[in-house]
Amino acid sequence: MSLGLNKTKRRIASIRSTQKITKAMGMVAAVKLRRFRDIVDRCEEYTRGMHEVMGELLLHDEQTKTHYSCENEGVQSTLYIVVTSSLGLCAGYNNSIFKFLESIVDPEHDIVAPLGEKGKTHFGHDAKYKTVDVTLPPVDKTMSAKQITQLCSQIKAAFNEKRVKKVVLVYTHYVNSISFVPEQETLLPLSIEPTPRVDENYCPPLFEPSARTQIHSLLPYYLGSRIYYRIAESQLCEQASRRNAMDNANDNADELLNKLTIEYNKARQTAITQEIVEVVSGSANATN
């Protein structure tokens, strides 16, 4: 009986030790969740403004369409930049991204460029993906301006040199604290549908320098704002998913601790009762 008590006691101690870790990770994830929510809120207005400006410039481009508005002809490959996590214990966050990408990518021709160590490991070990680019900077960790600029330069170079037909960013859209949806956004060619204003029919705006020149000048800033915003949104989803996973782990640990405590108390009571019976029996035998 003592062996059973010791085994149950060790299990209780092990679960309590694990619960300390999950509670600490949940608190860290909650702090990071608030930080990334603030980042997303600050970036949203700026990103929306850049989108409107680029749409206005594309609408009033008097020359023929810039090549940034059209897919590269004669090229089969599409560059998919996939935002994943670098750490684990975030429930099904990464798996949902992997499944979503499988439904849209052509593994024979398309290029998969993961951001995050989990994505690099997954796509690097999956033989069906013929081309995996792991040279992109790790912007999912620090998201510095230098790294974002480097990433935008690599994207522009791949598109300008006609190595890819188009560039697509796969990220996780934040719906609420318990709901996240994998989505895709075309970075190049520019997928902007400008909305003409009624008053511009009478007084169209004048651009100096030309709209074409400004499109090419502002493109790195536009791409940088979109990428930064979507990566921040993906990290917001990652932290929310990790916090939910840790909360569920804590709840399961509490439930298991309650069951084990009841089991331990029953076994302990049985052992005490058995010892009392043995003492009484021994005393009776000694009296006789």
Interval 229-267: pLDDT, tens: 999 999 999 999 999 999 999 999 999 999 998 888 888
Question: Using one digit for the tens of pLDDT, what is the confidence trace for 143-197?
Answer: 788 888 888 888 998 899 999 999 999 999 999 888 899 999 999 998 877 666 6
Residue 6: per-residue pLDDT: 83
Q: Where are the domains of the chain?
A: 21-246
Q: How far is Cα of residue 243 from the mean position of the Cα atoms in its chain?
A: 13
Question: Is residue 7 scored above 90 in pLDDT?
Answer: no
Lookup result for tokens 């331990």: 264
Closest residue by Cα to residue 162 from 188, 200, 140: 188
What is the C-alpha separation between 258 and 69, in angstroms, rounded? 62
Write down the architecture of domain 21-246 according to CATH.
3-Layer(aba) Sandwich (3.40)
Looking at the whole model, is its pTM more than 0.75?
yes
User: What is the per-residue pLDDT for 198?
Assistant: 65
Residue 3 pLDDT exceeds 90: no
In sequence order, the 6+-apart residues with CB closer than 8 A to the CB of 183 are 170, 171, 172, 173
| Over residues 49-75, mean pLDDT | 81
